[in-house]
Each structure stands twice: as structure tokens, then as C-alpha cells.
């Protein structure tokens, strides 16, 4: 149980940190309080957009808030996989823009989101085994 307690701590640390970061970053796409997000759009990406950079960032913000809520609420596995893929695509855009330091950070966050999704799957299996073990014990009694 001691080992599982540590794993549970790691699981919740990742879940709260990644979920809240995604939600806050998404919300900030509407306020630009943390940074001016459009500056991170690579020129190659910006010129292919069917909408303005600002409008695109609003859409990005909505997606990030939904992913963050998913991680924090009832869909952590699916939302964590989505966050991982999303962060890798952002990293690709950042490489095109020459923002290598931020791209490396986003790759690391993508790995953390992937680890959260995988740990959620293991956690679900563990909870199912516990449930069935308790159910079997009750039937035997």
C-alpha cells in the first residue's frame, strides 16, 4: 500500500498541474495577461490560417480549456492523451518559429500528459481488481 500511496500522489500532482495549466493557458488566450500568444504562431502557420491569428487563438483557448477540464474532471485518460498530442503539435509550431526553449518545455509536458494517461489506465485496472476482490469476499462470507 505504501508504494501505491506514492503513485497516487504522483497521479494527482500530474492531474492537477496539467489540468489547471491547460485551463489557465486556454483562458489566457482571451486576455493575454500572461503573454501575447499570437507572437508564438510561426509565419508558415499564420499564412495558412483561414482566420486571423487572434481568432485562431480564441479557438485554441477553447480547446485548451476543454482539455484542462477533462483532465480535472471525468475524462482524465482521454483528455491527457489529447493534451499530449496537442502539446507535441504546439512544440512543432514553436520549432518552426525558432522558440526552441519553449518547444523543449512543451515536449516535456507532452510526456507528462502521456504518463498521466497511462497511469490513469493502470489506476482504473487496479480499482476494478479491488472492487472484484471485495465483491468476491462478500459473496464468500
What pLDDT sits at residue 112?
98
What pLDDT sits at residue 1?
41
What pLDDT sits at residue 8?
84
Name the DSSP letter for residue 37: G
C-alpha cell at 55: 481568432
What pLDDT sits at residue 130?
64
pLDDT tens for the chain, 141 residues long, are: 445 667 888 999 999 999 999 999 999 999 999 999 999 999 999 999 999 999 999 999 999 999 999 999 999 999 999 999 999 999 999 999 999 999 999 999 999 999 999 998 777 776 666 666 666 666 666
What pLDDT sits at residue 2?
41
| E runs forming strands in 43-121 | none
Contact 61/94 with Cβ under 8 angstroms?
no
What pLDDT sits at residue 106?
97
> What are the structural domain ranges in the chain?
2-140
Taking CA atoms, 14 is separated from 7, 22, 42, 74, 77, in Å, by: 11, 12, 29, 15, 12
Q: How far apart are CA 105 and CA 103, in angstroms?
A: 5
Q: How far apart are CA 92 and CA 86, in angstroms?
A: 10
Tally DSSP H helices, then E strands, for the chain. 5, 0
Of 83, 92, 104, 105, the C-alpha closest to 44 is: 92
Tally Cβ neighbours within 10 Å of residue 20.
13
Single pTM value for the model? 0.83
C-alpha cell at 73: 474532471
Amino acid at each position: 500500500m505504501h508504494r501505491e500511496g506514492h503513485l497516487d500522489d504522483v497521479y494527482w500532482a500530474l492531474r492537477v498541474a496539467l489540468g489547471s495549466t491547460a485551463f489557465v493557458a486556454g483562458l489566457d488566450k482571451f486576455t493575454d495577461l500572461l503573454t501575447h500568444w499570437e507572437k508564438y504562431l510561426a509565419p508558415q502557420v499564420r499564412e495558412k490560417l483561414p482566420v486571423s491569428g487572434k481568432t485562431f487563438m480564441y479557438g485554441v483557448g477553447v480547446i485548451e480549456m476543454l482539455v484542462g477540464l477533462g483532465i480535472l474532471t471525468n475524462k482524465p485518460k482521454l483528455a491527457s492523451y489529447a493534451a499530449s498530442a496537442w502539446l507535441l503539435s504546439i512544440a512543432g509550431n514553436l520549432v518552426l518559429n525558432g522558440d526552441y526553449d519553449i518547444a523543449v518545455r512543451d515536449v516535456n509536458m507532452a510526456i507528462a500528459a502521456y504518463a498521466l494517461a497511462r497511469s490513469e489506465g493502470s489506476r482504473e485496472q487496479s480499482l476494478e481488481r479491488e472492487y472484484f476482490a471485495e465483491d468476491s469476499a462478500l459473496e464468500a462470507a
